[in-house]
Amino acid sequence: MVEVFKTNITKQKKAEQIIEKLQQKFSGYKINFDLEDCDNILRVENTTGQIDYEVLVQIISDDGFYIEPLKDELSMTTQNKSEI
Protein backbone atom coordinates (compact mmCIF):
# COMPACT_ATOMS: atom_id res chain seq x y z
CA MET A 1 0.00 0.00 0.00
CA VAL A 2 1.18 3.52 -0.83
CA GLU A 3 -0.02 6.72 0.82
CA VAL A 4 0.88 10.24 -0.28
CA PHE A 5 0.63 13.21 2.05
CA LYS A 6 0.81 16.98 1.76
CA THR A 7 3.04 18.54 4.45
CA ASN A 8 4.45 21.90 5.44
CA ILE A 9 7.96 20.50 5.85
CA THR A 10 10.23 22.57 3.61
CA LYS A 11 13.76 21.96 4.88
CA GLN A 12 15.78 18.94 3.73
CA LYS A 13 17.42 18.50 7.14
CA LYS A 14 14.03 18.38 8.90
CA ALA A 15 12.69 15.96 6.27
CA GLU A 16 15.66 13.67 6.95
CA GLN A 17 15.00 13.85 10.71
CA ILE A 18 11.33 12.96 10.17
CA ILE A 19 12.26 10.06 7.90
CA GLU A 20 14.66 8.78 10.59
CA LYS A 21 11.92 8.93 13.25
CA LEU A 22 9.43 7.18 10.99
CA GLN A 23 11.97 4.51 10.03
CA GLN A 24 12.61 3.79 13.72
CA LYS A 25 8.89 3.18 14.23
CA PHE A 26 8.16 1.56 10.85
CA SER A 27 11.32 -0.22 9.76
CA GLY A 28 9.57 -1.99 6.87
CA TYR A 29 8.21 1.19 5.26
CA LYS A 30 9.80 2.97 2.31
CA ILE A 31 9.59 6.69 3.07
CA ASN A 32 10.66 9.74 1.10
CA PHE A 33 9.92 13.42 0.63
CA ASP A 34 9.58 15.46 -2.54
CA LEU A 35 10.27 18.96 -1.25
CA GLU A 36 10.40 20.34 -4.79
CA ASP A 37 6.68 19.66 -5.16
CA CYS A 38 4.45 22.58 -4.14
CA ASP A 39 2.75 20.29 -1.58
CA ASN A 40 6.04 19.11 0.02
CA ILE A 41 5.02 15.52 -0.60
CA LEU A 42 5.66 12.71 1.86
CA ARG A 43 5.35 9.30 0.20
CA VAL A 44 5.03 6.21 2.38
CA GLU A 45 4.96 2.63 1.11
CA ASN A 46 4.32 -0.57 3.04
CA THR A 47 4.73 -3.60 0.77
CA THR A 48 3.42 -5.99 3.42
CA GLY A 49 0.10 -4.38 4.30
CA GLN A 50 -1.68 -1.30 5.54
CA ILE A 51 0.03 1.88 6.69
CA ASP A 52 -0.50 2.84 10.32
CA TYR A 53 -1.93 6.20 9.36
CA GLU A 54 -2.80 7.44 12.86
CA VAL A 55 0.65 6.81 14.34
CA LEU A 56 2.40 8.28 11.30
CA VAL A 57 0.30 11.47 11.47
CA GLN A 58 0.82 11.69 15.25
CA ILE A 59 4.62 11.48 14.93
CA ILE A 60 4.70 14.32 12.41
CA SER A 61 2.11 16.41 14.27
CA ASP A 62 4.04 15.98 17.54
CA ASP A 63 7.00 17.63 15.78
CA GLY A 64 4.78 20.63 15.06
CA PHE A 65 4.17 19.97 11.39
CA TYR A 66 1.04 19.80 9.26
CA ILE A 67 0.20 16.60 7.35
CA GLU A 68 -2.81 15.79 5.21
CA PRO A 69 -3.47 12.83 2.90
CA LEU A 70 -3.64 13.74 -0.76
CA LYS A 71 -6.65 12.44 -2.62
CA ASP A 72 -5.98 10.07 -5.48
CA GLU A 73 -7.12 12.18 -8.42
CA LEU A 74 -6.85 9.30 -10.88
CA SER A 75 -9.27 7.10 -8.95
CA MET A 76 -11.55 10.09 -8.41
CA THR A 77 -11.62 10.71 -12.18
CA THR A 78 -12.35 7.04 -12.82
CA GLN A 79 -15.04 7.06 -10.15
CA ASN A 80 -16.67 10.17 -11.62
CA LYS A 81 -16.75 8.61 -15.09
CA SER A 82 -18.41 5.48 -13.76
CA GLU A 83 -21.12 7.61 -12.17
CA ILE A 84 -22.05 9.20 -15.50
Instruction: From 38, 18, 34, 36, select the one nearest 26 (Cα to Cα).
Output: 18
Residue 17 binned pLDDT confidence (cut-offs 50, 70, 90) = very high
Q: How many CA atoms lie within 13 A of 28 on its CB side?
A: 9
Determine what percent of the chain is predicted with pLDDT higher than 90.
Answer: 82
Say whether pLDDT at 2 is over 90. Answer: yes
When pLDDT is averaged across residues 48-73 and rounded to a whole number, the result is: 92
Report the distance separating Cα 83 and Cα 2, nearest Å: 25
What's the whole-number mean pLDDT along residues 50-78? 83
| Average pLDDT of the residues in 48-60 | 94
What's the pLDDT band for 71 if we cut at 50, 70, 90?
A: confident
